[in-house]
Amino acid sequence: MPEYDSFCRQFSWENEKDSLEGLPGGGINIAHEAVDRHVNSGKGNTIAIRWIRKDRSFDDLTYADLKVQTSRFANVLEKLNVAKGESVFSLAGRIPSLYIAALGTLKAGAVFCPMFSVFGPEPAFQRLGKGKAKVLVTTTGLYEKKIKQLLDRLPLLQYILLTDAKQDIDDKVLSLSTLMKQASDDYVIKNTQQEDPALLHFTSGTTGMPKGALHVHQAVLTHYVTGKYVLDLRPGDVFWCTADPGWVTGTSYGIIAPLVNGVTNIVDEEEFDATRWYSILEEHYVNVWYTAPTAIRRLMRLDFKPTDRYDLSNLRLIHSVGEPLQADEVIWGEKTFGRPICDNWWQTETGGIMISNYATMEVRPGSMGKPLPGIEAAIGEVEAEAIRLLTKPGEPGHLLLKTGWPSMFRAYLDEEERYKKCFKGAWYITGDLAKKDADGYFWFVGRADDIIKTSGHMVGPFEVESTLMEHPAVAEAAIIGKPDPIIGALVKAFVVLDSGYEANEKTRLDIKGFSRKKLGPAVAPKEITFIDSLPKTKSGKILRRLLKARELGLPEGDTSTLE
């Protein structure tokens, strides 16, 4: 990205759209822009996906290969009479068939919904039922263990495609490889329009069923722009997003954004392993790495400097998303890799990165950064009739986004009233609290429903957690408000200790004294409990509501995405 302020002034979504090809009939299709467009322009031999197996061997799929395979999958769906707008789900690990199914579904004009392979039967049932799944792509093992028992409860689920079955089990449970061999390599993409549904992502609520956020084909423009200007993807780059496609990041930035920008996308079948990750960065010459704070904190706890053991000279840019990055984590990146780790902010509902730090801009440790060009963000108070914008630097309030960006979610599935409550006038109310400094950088304060009112003070968990993590004994921390009859709520901390520290009263008092000195007695934690690990979602978000529910003996709500 050129100089930020001047670039924002001249930025236009329409101008960026000109870089995409569009369909012959004037529509737009995510899979066409991510795959076929590159083959049409002579880049078919470029490696699109490098899939690394658990044993470290790997297979490459070029853009030409991907065009053939996704066309075959789209033809499979057509043979199964999957109509435009109907839902195709996946329940699989990071295997090539998952990526082919995602893009092939989009080619066919159907709606793709990924699920984590570690989901139990009930979370899978909730999503398959609510999303009216017609087709499920999964493996034999996952089908036998989790899906077979649900079939009587899912009357709309007509076909289950097994990625590793050599032959059909019955007329409903079919061998995907057999169907793919029978399918044609050629497919004419449905004339999808920019507002046609494309992606369905479920996001956990505090209670009850998960919410289904629906996105449209126009979202590809946000994926393209953020890949280009936030992730700085360039021709010839090797990109690695460590997120699973069961999480929106693993779809938006583990599939679509890198492919729309024509780079090589690394997919690792294995779960987190520090030495494996560093080896992948080295051996596959990764240029841009997109990961999560949870992984970064695990890497920080290792007792060696990676650049002493691994050649990471190709690594140009590191980004993180999930939970806000603490300032010391950004600084650790600078010391460890020679460059800060760039935090960015977005949500399942926004469909793509909205606020970020950029390679060409000063990174302020602990800051979310500045809005994406084309995005108007503000801080405000949500009043009964309208939004009141706050303009004083450093004043905390609701983080708001002006509606109209391409990847904005278009609905919560079958929950119209819930969807309407997210908007007031021209603004989307994110549910997060933040503040903006005099130079236009945004700083995360906390979720609106996580804010603690104690002795008349409004305390954001992130502020307290950041301070606690400055103490050498604290590896991770999470804050909740515990009801108190005198002060309203007291600040309680759950702390994971770093190696070499004991969970005893001496350590507890030392951390309390440190935090009181840094934060003052009104804000510092009055209670500290040591725990082995914090409850997190698979995307790395700390489930503070779960800590609070357990502390108070309340229902835990939806825990289907618990790590």
Has residue 435 got a pLDDT over 80?
yes
CA pair distance 52, 57, nearest whole angstrom? 6
How do beta strands 427-436 and 442-447 pair?
antiparallel
Are the CB atoms for 311 and 384 separated by under 8 Å?
no
pLDDT band for 453, please (50, 70, 90 cuts): confident
- Average pLDDT score over residue span 386-394: 93
CA pair distance 502, 546, nearest whole angstrom? 25
How do beta strands 317-320 and 288-291 pair?
parallel
Q: For residue 114, which of 538, 520, 550 has the smallest C-alpha distance?
A: 538
- Average pLDDT score over residue span 346-354: 96
Question: How many Cβ atoms from other residues are within 10 Å of residue 133's Cβ?
Answer: 26
Are the CB atoms for 166 and 177 separated by under 8 Å?
yes
The end-to-end CA distance of the chain, in Å, is: 35
Are the CB atoms for 329 and 314 separated by under 8 Å?
no
One-letter amino acid at 185 equals D
pLDDT of residue 171: 95
pLDDT of residue 545: 83
pLDDT band for 294, please (50, 70, 90 cuts): confident
Q: How far is CA 16 from CA 238, 396, 542, 555, in A?
A: 23, 33, 36, 47
pLDDT of residue 536: 84
pLDDT of residue 457: 64
Q: What is the pLDDT of residues 98-140, one digit of tens each?
A: 999 999 999 999 999 999 898 888 888 989 999 999 999 999 9
pLDDT band for 455, please (50, 70, 90 cuts): low
| Domains of the chain with CATH codes | 4-436 (3.40.50.12780), 451-552 (3.30.300.30)
DSSP 56-69: S-EEEEEHHHHHHH
Has residue 503 got a pLDDT over 90?
yes
Residues in contact with 326: Cβ distance below 8 Å, sequence separation at least 6, in sequence order: 293, 366, 465, 466, 469
Q: What is the pLDDT of residues 163-218, one digit of tens each?
A: 999 999 999 999 999 999 999 999 999 889 999 999 999 986 555 578 899 999 99
Has residue 420 got a pLDDT over 70?
yes
Residues in contact with 24: Cβ distance below 8 Å, sequence separation at least 6, in sequence order: none
The proportion of the chain whose per-residue pLDDT surpasses 90, expressed as a percent, equals: 76
Residues in contact with 110: Cβ distance below 8 Å, sequence separation at least 6, in sequence order: 77, 82, 83, 84, 85, 86, 87, 88, 135
Are the CB atoms for 116 and 246 separated by under 8 Å?
yes
Are the CB atoms for 351 and 248 separated by under 8 Å?
yes
CA pair distance 388, 382, nearest whole angstrom? 7
Q: What is the pLDDT of residues 141-177, one digit of tens each?
A: 999 999 999 999 999 999 999 999 999 999 999 999 9
Q: For residue 287, which of 225, 235, 353 has the smallest C-alpha distance?
A: 235
pLDDT of residue 205: 56
Q: For residue 515, which of 504, 526, 505, 506 has the smallest C-alpha distance?
A: 526
- Tokens, residue 38: 């590159």
pLDDT of residue 286: 98
* Residue 308 C-beta-side C-alpha neighbours within 13 Å: 6
- Average pLDDT score over residue span 399-413: 97
The proportion of the chain whose per-residue pLDDT surpasses 70, expressed as a percent, equals: 97
CA pair distance 123, 52, nearest whole angstrom? 28
pLDDT of residue 176: 98
- Tokens, residue 110: 């159907």
Q: How far is CA 408 from CA 17, 260, 351, 369, 474, in A?
A: 16, 18, 6, 20, 37
CA pair distance 21, 35, nearest whole angstrom? 11
* Residue 263 C-beta-side C-alpha neighbours within 13 Å: 29
pLDDT of residue 324: 85
DSSP E strands in 247-349: the ranges are 264-268, 288-291, 317-320, 342-345
Residue 199: its H or E element: strand 197-203
- Average pLDDT score over residue span 50-61: 96
pLDDT of residue 458: 64
Q: Worst-scoring range by mean pLDDT, 226-230, 384-388, 438-442?
A: 384-388
Has residue 506 got a pLDDT over 60?
yes
- pTM, entire model: 0.86
Question: How many Cβ atoms from other residues are within 10 Å of residue 42's Cβ?
Answer: 8
pLDDT of residue 44: 97
One-letter amino acid at 37 equals R
